[in-house]
């Protein structure tokens, strides 16, 4: 499991270096779907309704998180160094 996770991290680094963030997003969503299908074939995994809903929300959140916003949002209020 450690080797698989390590290889996955290296693949992500290569994708981000030579491709872009959008391709990384598609790859992450594709890996969730492909992992589910392969688990179903090889291990007899039968996804239930909650699994499908959860996988859907994960894929949607990956797309929403990596979407360019056009403006930067800050969680902290801006502080000004000028005195009034």
Q: For the chain, which residues make up each domain, given as ranges?
A: 2-66
Cα–Cα distances (Å) from 13 to 8, 20, 46, 66, 76, in that order, read 9, 10, 32, 16, 30
What pLDDT tens digit does each residue of the chain (84 aa) get?
A: 788 778 878 887 887 777 776 777 777 777 878 888 888 888 888 888 998 898 888 878 877 777 666 555 555 555 555 555
The per-residue pLDDT for 8 is: 79
**Nearest of 39, 30, 19 to residue 62 by alpha carbon:** 30
CA distance 54 to 46: 14
Cα–Cα distances (Å) from 57 to 32, 50, 77, in that order, read 11, 11, 30
């Amino acid at each position: 499991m450690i080797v698989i996770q390590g290889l996955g991290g290296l693949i992500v680094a290569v994708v981000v270096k030579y491709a872009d963030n959008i391709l990384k997003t598609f790859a992450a969503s594709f890996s969730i779907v492909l992992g589910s299908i392969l688990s179903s074939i090889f291990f007899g995994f039968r996804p239930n309704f909650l699994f499908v809903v959860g996988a859907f929300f994960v894929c949607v959140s990956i797309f929403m998180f990596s979407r360019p916003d056009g403006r930067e949002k800050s969680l902290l209020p801006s502080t000004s160094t000028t005195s009034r």
